[in-house]
């Protein structure tokens, strides 16, 4: 045994040495380090740090005061600070579509002798990352890059001068730390140990920093044996070889934290490995709860094998106070155990970076002419307040990248020929290179930029002749005055000297504006006449199908009213957001009035929303093209900068869950009403699966997404997670898992294969909810999930114990048995054995007919029943993410 331990120790040491050399893809920048001192290997980690020279062209170098040096790691001793300019940016070469761990370290260390607390903004590309307001802090984020370059910008917001000490970028595997949307901002990363050791590279191959946590109410558990860490998270041995259990064997193991602002969504990643040798009759089994609500379990850690339990969707804690508890189950003989835990808040980056070709083009212009303008850093177009001098951009539609439409480099001291980089600016409308010292020919590629309306090349030393393709380009206004060596023939080019320069450039611009005005006027007239023509067409109850044939619309009123509203109109509709109807992951839902009469529900996107613009756009696009009486209608939407809103028809009776739980009112929905609601919900879902081309999968069927109007007609809502099958005949789409815990199809979770049968599973859970009026997941039950609980009760042949007792037996037993059987078929672990939604609708209509035919009489339920229910649920529970 002793020899074995020595071998393991040597092996781990060798492994660490190999890892120390494996820094592939790492970017480690010691900001302010002089080039002669670069590169060097940091003493504690062996990481290779380089100077930031070449990554940024501005700023001054400094060093923290000597009093602080003993407390700071070597890379943070120097810094770069930025007394000039508003935005100063580092430009790093990365790989597009790669998941990166990005760290920025700020140690003030009274480098300037002023003792002024820092306060400035940190941007990732065009989006605000955080505000730096601490004298010693490291900001960390996990972010997927969109391009092959990454800009990290420091923005001055007050009297404080921005500075930075260290920049570190570490590539991660693509499938780790996945989110529904947005990036992950570090909240904490802790391993359970009573030591004081901070763990990072080379122990951690990704250079994550692990901090120890331990409480007096815990008992330390360790092992000298090797723990299997071969998971996608590649956790360090030193992290997973320690753990803790409660000192009191019957106590819970608690972790608490707070979040600001309180409504910020977050993801947690909990890491487990059993470190103790269990006896034959020992069992360690526990549930995990967050603020008292069941999230995972029953769960048993694997012996000496790492497992990570992660959130599938972001969580929130009421008031921002979170308490995670590991609670021992009744059959467990050992207390719960925890090895490590990480948590990240969700940060959305809604502003897209400037069009990549435009960035390439303008960077080429900058490099060719050696333009060192201090504003020419970071993203050229956005944020708008920091856009580059001399550029005008179009960024009105946040769903597409901003584009450069105007470039004014007049009187900029340009020398040499007109750079080919300009041809990458394919959206350019106005180009002014006047009053410089440009030489050579006028390039033909200028005629190939289709959008160009005005080119001003006056006041240069251009030679040769104007390309014929440029002179013949329709709609283009060209000014080449003041180029004495430029050849002009047959009046195609007018060269009247400097005295007429300003006048001649104004005329083309005015002419261009006049042409555009005429064009706009013609378009307005065309659409007015078209609208009058359309008003004489078929009745509003008919819309044109995609195949050209007319079809009856289930909601013609909504179809004819789809429109885009301004944010000021939204404010007016809601009377300045006076009446709140509800809150969700998207944001707050307000009551509103369109035209002062029609009631609507207006969902405003929160800036901290975990869903973000992608799901907003998905929902708008889906609801603009699908219409059915059992789908909530979209009256309109607002897409104005950061202000996003969805405007729905008003559903006066809220959602189904409110009525089932009794939180909305005190009366009980009878069995007939419940069946009517699920029939109508099934019809809406069946339409998505079969009536849409391409077919749609909702992905988030649950009782809170079934809304009820004044007549208790049911309609499906919330299509932000919906996905289409773009290729006809496709049986599945491979996609990241999304949905709500408890309703999530386990086959979809296991394989990442999404099919319409995933919705069928979720609908089966909803059906059991309306039958039992029980929570989907209840840790107090021996079988926490509703499907397993119902299955166990049914094996005893006792259906009365699963029916909602508040119904007092007032239901048709045949319809109940049929509904239960249908629900269990929908919940079959194999998607191939589940019914499709057309079959579900038929079966439910038979249930409703059976219930209605009894005439309201109260009948006793036969506990034996005549319908055989097929059960396929095993006894093992696989830990699913919440």
Catalytic residues: 700
124: part of which helix (H) or strand (E)?
strand 120-124
Q: What is the CA radius of gyration of the chain?
A: 33
Q: Within a 10 A sphere around the Cβ of 671, how many other Cβ atoms?
A: 24
**For residue 855, what are the contacts with CB-CB under 8 A and spacing of at least 6?**
none
Q: Within a 10 A sphere around the Cβ of 425, how many other Cβ atoms?
A: 27
Three-class SS of residue 313?
Answer: coil
Q: For 596-599, which contacts have Cβ atoms below 8 Å and span 24 or more sequence positions?
A: 598/635, 598/650, 599/650, 599/652
User: Which has the closest alpha carbon to 550: 534, 561, 538, 533?
Assistant: 538
Distance CA 51, CA 55 (A): 9
Using the 8-state DSSP alphabet, how is residue 696 labeled?
A: E
Distance CA 41, CA 206 (A): 17
Calculate helix-pair angle for 813-826, 756-772, nearest 10 degrees: 140
**For residue 676, what are the contacts with CB-CB under 8 A and spacing of at least 6?**
712, 714, 848
Contact 811, 851 (CB under 8 A): yes
* C-alpha to C-alpha distances, 820 to 383, 466, 765, 767, 846, nearest whole angstrom: 56, 81, 11, 8, 13
Calculate helix-pair angle for 671-686, 813-826, nearest 10 degrees: 30
CB-facing half-sphere around the CA of 360: CA atoms within 13 A:
11
Contact 295, 252 (CB under 8 A): no
The residue written with tokens 């004489």 in the block is 536
Distance CA 194, CA 433 (A): 67
Q: Within a 10 A sphere around the Cβ of 29, how many other Cβ atoms?
A: 26
Distance CA 378, CA 387 (A): 9
Q: 694 preceded by cis ω (within 30°)?
A: yes
Calculate helix-pair angle for 671-686, 837-853, nearest 10 degrees: 160
526: part of which helix (H) or strand (E)?
helix 501-535
User: Which has the closest alpha carbon to 426: 372, 355, 369?
Assistant: 355
Contact 136, 106 (CB under 8 A): yes
Q: Provide the residue count of the chain.
A: 882
Determine whether the annotation assigns residue 603 to a binding site.
yes
DSSP per-residue letters across 777-841:
B-TTSSS-BHHHHHHHHHHTT--GGGS-GGGTT-S-HHHHHHHHHHHHHHT-SSGGGSPPHHHHH
User: Which has the closest alpha carbon to 136: 84, 66, 64, 62?
Assistant: 64
Distance CA 776, CA 293 (A): 12
Distance CA 634, CA 623 (A): 6
Three-class SS of residue 618?
Answer: helix
Distance CA 121, CA 30 (A): 20
Contact 46, 202 (CB under 8 A): yes
Residue set of the binding site for ATP? 603
């Amino acid at each position: 045994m002793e020899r074995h331990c020595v071998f393991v120790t040597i092996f781990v040491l060798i492994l660490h040495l190999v890892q120390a050399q494996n820094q592939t893809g790492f970017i480690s920048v010691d900001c302010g380090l002089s080039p002669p001192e670069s590169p060097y290997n940091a003493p504690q980690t062996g990481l290779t740090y380089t100077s930031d020279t070449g990554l940024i062209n501005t700023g001054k170098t400094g060093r923290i005061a000597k009093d602080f040096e003993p407390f700071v790691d070597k890379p943070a001793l120097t810094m770069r600070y930025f007394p000039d300019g508003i935005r100063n940016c580092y430009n790093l070469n990365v790989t597009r579509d790669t998941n990166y761990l990005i760290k920025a370290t700020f140690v003030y260390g009274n480098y300037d002798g002023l003792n002024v607390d820092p306060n400035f903004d940190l941007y990732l590309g065009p989006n605000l990352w955080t505000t730096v307001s601490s004298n010693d802090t490291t900001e960390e984020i996990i972010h997927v890059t969109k391009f092959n370059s990454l800009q990290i910008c420091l923005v001055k917001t007050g009297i404080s001068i921005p500075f930075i000490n260290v920049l570190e970028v570490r590539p991660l595997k693509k499938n780790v730390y996945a989110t529904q949307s947005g990036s992950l901002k570090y909240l904490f990363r802790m391993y359970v140990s009573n030591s004081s050791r901070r763990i990072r590279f080379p122990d951690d191959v990704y250079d994550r920093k692990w901090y120890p946590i331990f409480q007096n109410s815990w008992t330390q558990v360790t092992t000298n044996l090797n723990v299997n860490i071969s998971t996608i998270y590649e956790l360090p041995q030193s992290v997973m070889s320690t753990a803790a259990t409660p000192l009191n064997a019957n106590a819970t193991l608690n972790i608490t934290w707070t979040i600001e602002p309180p409504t910020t969504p977050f993801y947690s990643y909990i890491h487990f490995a059993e470190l103790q040798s269990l006896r034959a009759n020992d069992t360690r089994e526990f549930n995990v709860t967050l603020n008292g609500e069941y999230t995972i379990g029953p769960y048993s850690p694997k012996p000496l094998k790492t497992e990570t339990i992660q959130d599938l969707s972001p969580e929130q804690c009421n008031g921002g106070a979170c308490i995670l508890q590991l609670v021992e189950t009744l059959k467990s003989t050992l207390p719960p155990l925890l090895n490590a835990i990480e948590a990240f808040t969700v940060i959305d980056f809604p502003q897209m970076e400037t069009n990549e070709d435009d960035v390439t083009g303008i960077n080429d212009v900058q490099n060719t002419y050696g333009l060192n303008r201090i504003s020419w850093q970071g993203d050229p177009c956005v944020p708008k307040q920091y856009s580059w001098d001399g550029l005008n951009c179009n960024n009105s539609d946040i769903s597409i990248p901003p584009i450069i439409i105007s470039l004014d480099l007049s009187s900029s001291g340009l020398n040499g020929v007109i750079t080919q980089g300009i041809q990458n600016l394919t959206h350019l409308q106005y180009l002014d290179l006047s009053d410089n010292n440009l030489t050579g020919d006028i390039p033909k590629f200028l005629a190939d930029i289709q959008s160009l309306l005005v080119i001003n090349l006056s006041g240069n030393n251009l030679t040769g002749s104007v390309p014929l393709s440029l002179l013949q380009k329709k709609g283009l206004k060209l000014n080449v005055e003041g180029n004495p060596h430029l050849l002009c023939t047959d009046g195609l080019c007018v060269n009247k000297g400097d005295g007429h320069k300003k006048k001649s450039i104004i005329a083309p611009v005015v002419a261009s504006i006049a042409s555009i005005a005429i064009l706009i006027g013609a378009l307005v007239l065309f659409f007015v006449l078209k609208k009058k023509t359309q008003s004489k067409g078929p009745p509003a109850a008919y819309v044109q199908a995609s195949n050209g044939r007319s079809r009856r619309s289930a909601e013609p009123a909504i179809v004819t009213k789809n429109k885009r509203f301004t944010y000021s109109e939204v404010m007016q509709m809601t009377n300045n957001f006076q009446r709140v109807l509800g809150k969700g992951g998207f944001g707050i839902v307000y009551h509103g009035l369109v035209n002062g009469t029609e009631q609507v529900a207006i969902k405003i996107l929160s800036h901290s929303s975990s869903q973000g613009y992608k799901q907003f756009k998905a929902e708008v696009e889906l609801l603009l093209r699908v219409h059915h009486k059992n789908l909530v209608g979209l009256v309109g939407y607002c897409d104005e900068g950061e202000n996003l809103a969805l405007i729905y028809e008003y559903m006066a009776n809220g959602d189904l869950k409110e009525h089932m739980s009794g939180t909305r009112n005190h009366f009980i929905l009878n069995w007939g009403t419940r069946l009517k609601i699920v029939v109508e919900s099934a019809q809406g879902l069946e339409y998505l699966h079969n009536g849409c081309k391409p077919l749609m999968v909702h992905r988030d069927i649950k009782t809170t997404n079934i809304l009820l109007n004044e007549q208790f007609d049911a309609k499906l809502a919330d299509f932000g997670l919906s996905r289409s099958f773009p290729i006809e005949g496709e049986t599945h789409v491979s996609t990241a898992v999304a949905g709500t815990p408890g309703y999530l199809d386990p086959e979809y979770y296991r394989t990442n294969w999404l099919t319409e049968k995933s919705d069928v599973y979720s609908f089966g859970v909803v059906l059991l909810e309306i039958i039992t009026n029980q929570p989907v997941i209840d840790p107090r039950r021996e079988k926490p999930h509703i499907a397993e609980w119902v299955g166990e009760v049914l094996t005893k042949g006792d259906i009365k114990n699963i029916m909602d007792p508040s119904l007092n037996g007032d239901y048709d037993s045949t319809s109940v048995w049929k509904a239960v059987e249908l629900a269990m078929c929908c919940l079959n672990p194999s998607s191939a054995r589940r019914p499709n939604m057309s079959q579900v609708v038929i079966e439910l209509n038979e249930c409703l007919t059976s219930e209605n035919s009894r005439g309201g009489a109260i009948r006793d339920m036969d506990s034996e029943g005549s319908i055989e229910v097929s059960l396929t649920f095993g006894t093992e529970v696989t830990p699913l993410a919440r």
